[in-house]
């Protein structure tokens, strides 16, 4: 019984690791081409007209 619980825990840990590994990389379709995209959401929100047509990577 204890061996079964440990096996289930290992399986669950492996599933979580596999699921999180997909979050590490950015797909090519949305990667972007700018070497230095805008990353400051506050600046963009304060003057959005300055950033029209530019790439941005906004997250918290």
Q: What is the structure's pLDDT at 22?
A: 67
Q: What is the structure's pLDDT at 20?
A: 80
Tens of pLDDT, residue by residue over 6-19, are: 889 999 999 888 88
The string of DSSP codes covering 1-60 is -HHHHHHHHHHHHHHHHHHHHTTTSPPHHHH-S-SS-B--HHHHHH-GGGGTT--B----
> Per-residue confidence at 60, pLDDT binned at 50, 70, 90?
low
**Residue 43 counted as domain residue:** no
**Residue 38 counted as domain residue:** no
- How many structural domains are present in the chain? 1
**Residue 30 counted as domain residue:** no
**Residue 60 counted as domain residue:** no
**Residue 15 counted as domain residue:** yes
**Residue 45 counted as domain residue:** no
Domain carrying residue 2: 1-25
Tens of pLDDT, residue by residue over 10-58, are: 999 998 888 887 666 777 888 888 888 889 999 999 999 999 999 988 8
């Amino acid at each position: 019984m204890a061996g079964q619980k440990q096996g289930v825990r290992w399986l669950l840990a492996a599933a979580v690791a596999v699921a999180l590994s997909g979050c590490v990389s950015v797909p090519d379709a949305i990667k972007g081409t700018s070497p230095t995209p805008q990353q400051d959401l506050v600046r963009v929100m304060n003057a959005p007209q300055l950033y029209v047509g530019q790439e941005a990577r906004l997250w918290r």
